[in-house]
Structure formats: C-alpha cells, structure tokens
Amino acid sequence: MKTTKKISEKYFDKIISVAYGDAGMIDKFKIYFDANKNPDIKKILNEYRATAREVHLISPEEFNERVTVNSPKISDWLLNYLNLFFRRPILSTAMALMIMMGITGYFIVNRNNNSTDGYSRAELTLAEKQAKESFAIVSSIMNKTEDKLKNEVFNEKINKPLNKTLTIVNTYL
C-alpha cells in the first residue's frame, strides 16, 4: 500500500495500531479526529480496519492450517516437561531452590576436607619442617653475605681507595 507524502511512518504506525485496536485512548482520539478532517487518513484507516476484521475472524485451527512453521523437532516428553515447569511458577521456584540448596550443601560438607592430594598429615608436617629449616639456612647465608659486603668489600675495595683519592684532592687544593 502506498502512503501519501503527508503521513509520516510514525503516524502511519499509529493508524495501524488504531485499526487493530492496540492503540491507547489518546492516539485513538487523535487518529479519529484527523480521519474526519483528512479523507486520505480516513481511507487508510478504513482499509486497515477491514483487514483487521478479517485477521481477527481467523480461528486458531484455521491459522495453524494456513501457516506452516519450520521449527526444530523436540520430543513430546521434553516439551511436556518444559511446559509443566515454566507454566507453574511454584514448580520452577522450588526447582531453583533445590538446586541452590544442593550446591550450598555440597560446599558445606566439603568445607572441612582439606585437599592434600593423597599425602598424610605426618608427611605434610615433615615437609613444612624441612621448608622452615631450608629457609633458615638461606636466611643465615644472606645475613653472612650482607655482613661480608659491608665490612670487607665496601671498606677495602671502595672506601679505602675513595678516601685516598679524596685526601690527595684535598691536599692539592
């Protein structure tokens, strides 16, 4: 159907809504008022009203015969189960609560079980003790190295030559 240049798409959509009975009261009032003034709007409104009457007269059975929908085939038992599940909100709420309680219960039961990957408590304690001893050895070595750097390397290799150089510079200046 051709629309006239005077009618915008938005206004045209409102005319269709009024014809099919989906528009609000204010839109209906505006369209009926404009239809009385403008014969083009009245003609379009009457054409869509006639089409709407024909569409509303089609029964669901006749509609199913006329229209074929290519949808994926889902087995009847699955469709019935989903229909039962989603049409009753109490059932879907109960199922969601059961799933949440199951997950929460699983975490509560397994909260105290420390994952040791097959090692006994004695083996874990021994490994912890050995790790502490090795860290103590590494710490003592690092402390000795620090002392040696401060006392021997810095004093003998850096401080003494620097002091000599500064003394020489001071005596000449």
CB of 42 closer than 8 Å to CB of 35 = yes
Given this model, what pLDDT does residue 23 score? 84
- CA 150 – CA 145 distance, rounded (Å): 9
CB of 118 closer than 8 Å to CB of 126 = no
- CA 20 – CA 48 distance, rounded (Å): 7
Q: What percent of the chain has pLDDT over 70?
A: 83
On the question of pLDDT at 146 being above 90, the answer is no
Those residues with Cβ within 8 angstroms of residue 26's Cβ, 6 or more apart along the chain or in another chain: none
On the question of pLDDT at 138 being above 70, the answer is yes
